[in-house]
Amino acid sequence: MQEIKVGILGLGTVGCGTADVLARNAAEITRKTGIPICVTMACVRDKNKTRECDSDTFSITTEPMDVVTSPNVDIVVELIGGTELARDLVSAAITNGKHVVTANKALIALHGNELFRLAENAGVQMAYEAAVAGGISIIKSIREGFAGNQIEAIAGIINGTGNFILTEMRDKGRTFEDVLAEAQELGYAEADPTFDVEGIDAAHKLTILAAIAFGTPLQFEEVYTEGISKLELIDVDYAKELGYRIKHLGIAKKIDGDLELRVHPTLIPEQRLIANVNGVMNAVLVKGDAVGNTLHYGAGAGADPTASAVVADIIDVARIMSIGARSYVPGSGFTAAAIKNLPVRKQAEFECAFYLRFEVEDVPGVMSQLSAVFAEQNISIEGITQKEPKKGDNSVSVIFITQKTVERSVDEALEALKTSKILQGSVAKIRVEHLD
């Protein structure tokens, strides 16, 4: 084999970053693989658009199928995003005997089960390290580095936009709306930020992490997803006073043979390393039965960090091609026959502690009434804080931190309080994880 030829679908930020890294580090990559790797072809929407990379060394087309079917392409790198077109192109590439590398988390989360089967039957690889947490290399760590472990839990800050917003709210006392506007100006958030701030992007990534950790099918529809758009600054401040930080976490746990798959704002004790991951950075905590807790930190997006993960996948595929291997690590980390469905718990069955903020009338006996309702549900209270009454107002904020309990019990207690006429407004409910 003289060289391995790469075709790129999409020369945007990550596509150009990938072409640049392959060109800039060509000598070192050849030294690691024993065979040259070069980009021979790329597909773009507009040939006349100015690009952030040197595209003079390879051919450009506006027809993606030209790349997918070209005899001058061994590895197809899908970087166009979206799901339906990407699914069609990746399926066609596999059918044409091409190995595939993608950074498309939505594609994997929604259609990965089908595509992995297709790739396995065709005898080609489908690699997707860049789909989760950019340059951190978390997929390879879980799938290969911790292959000797039973993974017990994963907790990740896997969306940089949400982490940037929460960091600014905590450190500078800014509102969600104010920080979101700046994130859009800086290019951290899209004009329509729904995927980032409502947790959909993180849910796509958690779907992938859970599947490779627990050997289950990808099941995005089972992930409980809650965003940060309704989070109030007052709760960010109160959490800080109580020694916690609020992070938007993706959490996957295996408990007594069941799975919990959830994305939501979470209070974490401020001394935990993951609580101190700020700005647009990502971090993933992985707990294995042998290795214990490990934390993986780095840039979750951007041209070079994401391109680093894409190129690493290209190199892995190139190594297999160069030695003519017929067996390699399956895309999911498990053989198709070993993948098992496990029951996924619904929201009411989640087990964790809770932060609860009540607005109540500042009169004697209210605290005992609140405590009595929770005692009826066998919910133990870790701590109670009562704030000073607001000026010109007879209401006061009361904060409960519960011990670990089942969410159904908390919700039943809150329903009972609604009928008791104790509350003066809505209740803020945020889950608490100590990540021990």
Structural tokens at position 31: 């030294």
CA-to-CA distance for 99 and 6, rounded, in angstroms? 10
pLDDT of residue 324: 73
- Residue 169: is it exposed, middle or buried by C-beta count within 10 angstroms (0-12/13-18/19+)? buried
Mean pLDDT of the chain: 94
339 Cβ contact list (under 8 Å, min separation 6): 215, 216, 217, 332
Query: Taking the CA atoms of the chain, what radius of gyration do you get in angstroms?
Result: 24
71-113 pLDDT, tens digit each: 999 999 999 999 999 999 999 999 999 999 999 999 999 999 9
* Residue ranges for the chain with pLDDT beneath 50: none
Helix (H) / strand (E) containing 352: strand 351-361
* 289-339: pLDDT as tens digits: 999 999 999 998 888 999 999 999 999 999 988 887 655 677 788 888 899
CA angle centred on 300, ends 9 and 94, rounded to 5°: 30
Tell me, what's the pLDDT at 350? Answer: 98
Q: CA 4, CA 347: separation in Å to the nearest integer?
A: 48
**Residue 1, pLDDT score:** 61
Number of Cβ atoms within 10 Å of the Cβ of 173? 12
Q: Which fold has domain 139-299?
A: Dihydrodipicolinate Reductase; domain 2 (3.30.360)
- DSSP annotation string for 183-202: HHHHTSS-SS-HHHHTSHHH
Helices (H), 159-302: 160-172, 176-186, 194-197, 200-214, 233-241
Residues making up the chain, counted from first to last:
436
Sign of the dihedral defined by the CA atoms of residues 338, 287, 285, 193, in that order? positive
Q: Which residue has the tokens 């693989």?
A: 33
pLDDT of res. 388: 83
Please tell me the predicted confidence (pLDDT) of residue 125.
93
| DSSP string computed for 61-81 | ES-HHHHHH-TT-SEEEE-S-
SS3 call for 217: coil
Whether residue 265 contacts residue 247, with contact meaning beta carbons closer than 8 Å, is answered with yes
Q: Which entry of 5, 98, 140, 205 is annotated as an active-site residue?
A: 205
pLDDT score, position 329: 72
Calculate the CA 27 to chain-centre distance. 33
Q: Report DSSP state, residue 143.
A: I
- Contact criterion met (CB below 8 Å) for 37 and 30: yes
Distance CA 407, CA 155 (A): 19
The values of phi and psi at residue 94, to 5°, are -60, -45
Strands (E), 233-325: 244-255, 258-269, 281-288, 292-299
Domain 4-133+303-338: homologous superfamily in CATH:
NAD(P)-binding Rossmann-like Domain (3.40.50.720)
First to last CA, the chain: 50
How remote is the C-alpha of 262 from its chain's centroid?
Answer: 11
Confirm whether 205 is a catalytic residue: yes
Q: Is 85 exposed, middle or buried (0-12, 13-18, 19+ CB in 10 A)?
A: middle
Quote the pLDDT of residue 434. Answer: 95
Residue 64's nearest CA partner among 18, 98, 24 is 98
The reported pLDDT for the residue numbered 419 is 86
pLDDT on residue 325: 60
Query: CATH for 348-432, among 3.30.70.260, 3.40.190.10, 2.40.30.110, 3.20.20.70?
Result: 3.30.70.260
Alpha carbon distance 230, 427 (integer Å): 12
Q: Please state the domain extents for the chain.
A: 4-133+303-338, 139-299, 348-432
Chain-centre distance of CA 184, in angstroms? Answer: 20
How many helices (H) and strands (E) in the chain? Answer: 14, 17
Q: Are 125 and 114 in contact (CB under 8 A)?
A: no
